[in-house]
Amino acid sequence: MSRTAERVLGIIGIVFTVISIFGAVFGAVIFRMFTTNADFRQEIEMELYSDPAMTPADIDMFFNMFDAFGGFLWFVVVFFLISLMLNIFGLVKIWNNKNPKLAGILFIIAGLTAGIVSLTSILLYVAGIMCLTRKETLPPRDYQDPLVTDTPPGDDGMRPL
């Protein structure tokens, strides 16, 4: 059975996951750079202190959330890497129709680790469901109905001894 659709969806999932990894790493590096650069941080603090509605506790909370989001992006990178590995392993398993059930399960788990409702995860869910539900069509067998015989009428198939 040709598993071209599953392969294509898996490859597109790999491409989107790699793009997401690069984006998350870039974001994490930028957030890290902003939080470690003292001049930039001081400039943001001065801008926030100029707002009369902001209190020092609000500004501290702003910077704590800024730092936490940078750490969260590294957490996202780890999950994307896990998704990438599972996706590649599933693609290897589906390539020559070796083990489509295992590949389907790996695609679904990779979709879960890539994000619950991201475009990548939806593609991987579809590929996984296709792997699990598509059955290999067997060639038609020569079926002989026991009630239908090829004997001519009047011949009951009995021969004299």
Alpha-carbon distances of 127 from 21, 43, 100, 117, rounded to whole Å: 21, 49, 10, 15
Please check whether residue 8 lies inside any domain of the structure. Answer: yes
Whether 149 is in a domain gets the answer no
In the prediction, which pLDDT does 142 show? 67
How far is CA 21 from each of CA 67, 73, 160, rounded to the nearest angstrom?
19, 10, 83
Stronger pLDDT, 56 or 143, i.e. the higher one:
56
The predicted pLDDT at position 153 comes to 62
Is 150 among the domain residues? no
Tell which wins on pLDDT, 34 or 98. Answer: 98
Q: Would 31 be classed as within a structural domain?
A: yes
What does the pLDDT read at residue 36?
A: 82
Q: What is the largest CA-CA distance in the chain?
A: 117
Question: Who contacts 143 (Cβ-Cβ below 8 Å, separation ≥6)?
Answer: none
Comparing CA positions, the residue from 83, 80, 63 lying closest to residue 26 is 80
* Percentage of the chain lying above the pLDDT 90 cut: 45
Which of 43-52, 97-106, 143-152 has the highest mean predicted lDDT (pLDDT)? Answer: 97-106
Q: What per-residue confidence (pLDDT) applies to 117?
A: 79
Domain count, the chain: 1
User: What are 155's two structure tokens?
Assistant: 């011949």
Query: For residue 135, which phi and psi values (nearest 5 degrees)?
Result: -105, 150
Interatomic CA distance for residues 124 and 107, integer angstroms: 5
Q: What is the C-alpha to C-alpha distance for residues 111 and 103, in angstroms, rounded to an integer? A: 12
- The residue ranking higher by pLDDT, 29 or 157, is 29
**pLDDT for the residue numbered 42:** 86
pLDDT in tens, 131-144: 999 877 666 666 66
The position carrying tokens 């750490």 is 71
The range of the structural domain enclosing residue 105 comes to 4-133
Q: Is residue 83 part of a domain?
A: yes
Residue 142 domain-assigned? no
Does 71 reside within a domain?
A: yes
CB 3 within 8 A of CB 80: no
- Among candidate residues 134, 128, 125, the one with its CA nearest the CA of residue 102: 128
**SS3 of 156, please?**
coil
Q: Give residue 53's pLDDT band: very low, low, confident or very high (50, 70, 90).
A: confident
Q: What is the pTM of this model?
A: 0.74
Task: With a cut of 70, say whether residue 151 has pLDDT above it.
Answer: no
Q: What is the DSSP letter of 118?
A: S
Determine, yes or no, domain membership for 138: no
Position 21, amino acid: I
* pLDDT of 82 higher than 80: yes
